[in-house]
């Protein structure tokens, strides 16, 4: 066999192997980055401010006007805004594919959908008052994506879906 053919074959094998290895490393990097982002995100949301905001939102009736929400929530409006701003950032991160929608659903679908159902009219009133249709656009987008997915495959609580789950380690 000609030496130049052997060198050419070895070069092709080296390039293909390098590309394969690079693909594996890229996938590993992306998974690691997403895992780190999720853990950081989870710790960010586990704050007294977020919990107070979620509590204030959960206690509201659906479909209240801006004025009604502000009257009922009162001094806790800061917590409510904290939640809305947090969900806004979460929606943008999902859209930019920095976080997967599936992961966000696992952690936060309940509070996201509940927030939108409770505060949709409030957000619409606030948009009109601010003259800014982009106010909380990603919060709405995220809630609608989750509700679209749940319309096709209804959410099953983890305690039901995984009731027979066993740890592997």
| Cα dist from 101 to 1, 19, 32, 92, 162, whole Å | 54, 29, 17, 11, 20
pLDDT, tens digit, 9 for 90 and up, residues 5-50:
877 777 877 888 888 888 888 888 888 877 787 777 777 778 899 9
Question: Higher confidence at residue 146 or residue 47?
Answer: 146
Question: Higher confidence at residue 133 or residue 3?
Answer: 133
Q: How confident is the model at residue 64 (pLDDT cuts 50, 70, 90)?
A: very high
DSSP codes, 110-137: HHHHHHHHHHHHHHHHHHHHHT-TTTTH
Contacts 24+ apart (CB under 8 A), 125-133: 125/65, 125/66, 125/67, 126/66, 129/66
| 1 has a pLDDT exceeding 80 | no
pLDDT, tens digit, 9 for 90 and up, residues 88-109:
999 999 999 888 899 899 889 9
pLDDT for the residue 125: 97
pLDDT for the residue 12: 79
């Amino acid at each position: 066999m000609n030496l130049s053919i052997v060198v050419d074959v070895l070069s092709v094998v080296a390039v293909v192997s390098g590309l394969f290895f690079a693909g594996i490393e890229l996938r590993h990097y992306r998974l690691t980055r997403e895992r780190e982002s999720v853990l950081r995100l989870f710790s960010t949301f586990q704050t007294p401010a977020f919990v107070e905001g979620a509590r204030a939102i959960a206690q509201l009736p659906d479909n209240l006007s801006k004025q009604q929400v502000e009257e009922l929530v009162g001094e806790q409006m800061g917590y409510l805004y904290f939640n809305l701003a947090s969900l806004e950032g979460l929606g943008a991160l999902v859209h930019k594919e920095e976080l997967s929608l599936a992961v966000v659903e696992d952690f936060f679908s309940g509070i996201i959908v509940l927030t939108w159902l409770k505060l949709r009219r409030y957000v619409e009133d606030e948009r009109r008052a601010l003259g800014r249709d982009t106010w909380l656009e990603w919060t709405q987008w995220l809630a609608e994506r989750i509700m679209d997915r749940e319309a096709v495959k209804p959410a099953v609580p983890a305690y039901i879906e995984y009731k027979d789950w066993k740890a592997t380690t």
